[in-house]
Amino acid sequence: MTSDTLDERTLLDRVAGGDRSAFEQLYTVYYPRLFRFLLRYTGSLGHVEELVNDVMLVVWNRASDFRGGSKVSTWILGIAYRKGLKSLERDRRRPHHEDIDEVSLISTEGPEQDLSRRQLRDRVIAALSRLPPEQRAVLELTYYHGCSYPEIAEILGCPHNTVKTRMFHARRKLRDILPELERSAERRGGLDR
């Protein structure tokens, strides 16, 4: 993640002043990022749009609280993480929690060398869905949102070492789940890059 563009900080300042047009621009920029993060973190499509709106409502109401101690994106993703966490806790209390069955995408049939890149990607998504949410969040924030580990620690509200440990465990589990990842890396010249 690069440092805040002037635009994002300016937009947030305008949102703090009650500028609806600035809020709409910020919403449009963050909607896909938040949608993706919350979908991957909570593993449930049913509530994602409502959660995105919960996050952006906090942004609308609390924009004036942002002091610039972190990037705008770190602040907003931190709000998203807490909303996602609450949603997961609510779901755990429900007797019949219904997840998207991404695990069902995993197929054990067919020679692995025939897997297309698209299929491999589907398998990675399915494998990610089998990780604990906290490990999923770290991996997603690192590889999709491009966050540094200190930024992830701030978003999750945990020590740096906890971030590294969660990533360590996620990598180990993915390695067990996805042996073809290594072969794919070799085929694409991953070792020589």
Partner 1 sequence: MSRHDAFHSEHEEVWELLPWHVNGTLEDRDARRVEHHLSHCLPCHAELGRQRELASLVQAPEVLPLSPGHGLARLEGRLAASRRLTARRPLGWGWLALAEAAIIVVLLSAVLAQRQPPALPQATFETLGSAGPTLDRASGPVFRALFAESASERELRELLAGLGLRIVDGPSPIGLFTLELAAETRDPRAPAAVLAGLRAHDAVRFAERIDRPSTPQGD
Binding site for partner 1 (CB under 8 A): 1, 18, 20, 23-24, 27-28, 31-32, 35-36, 39, 44-47, 49-50, 52-54, 56-57, 60-61, 94, 96, 98, 117, 120-121, 124-125, 128, 139-140, 142-144, 146-149, 151, 164, 167-168, 171, 174-175, 181-182, 184-186, 188, 190-191, 193
What gap in Å lies between CA 170 and CA 139, rounded to an integer? 7
Torsion of CA 161, 164, 170, 172, to 10 degrees: -100
Residue 81 Cβ, how far from partner 1 at the closest point, in Å? 17
Residue 157 Cβ, how far from partner 1 at the closest point, in Å? 19
What gap in Å lies between CA 192 and CA 185, rounded to an integer? 10
Go through the chain and tell me how many residues it has. Answer: 193
- Which residue number, 15 or 75, has a Cβ lying nearer to partner 1? 15
What gap in Å lies between CA 91 and CA 1, rounded to an integer? 31
Residue 53 Cβ, how far from partner 1 at the closest point, in Å? 5
* 106 phi and psi angles, rounded to 5 deg: -70, 130
Which 3 state secondary structure label does DSSP give 32? helix
- Which residue number, 7 or 186, has a Cβ lying nearer to partner 1? 186
- Which residue number, 62 or 68, has a Cβ lying nearer to partner 1? 62
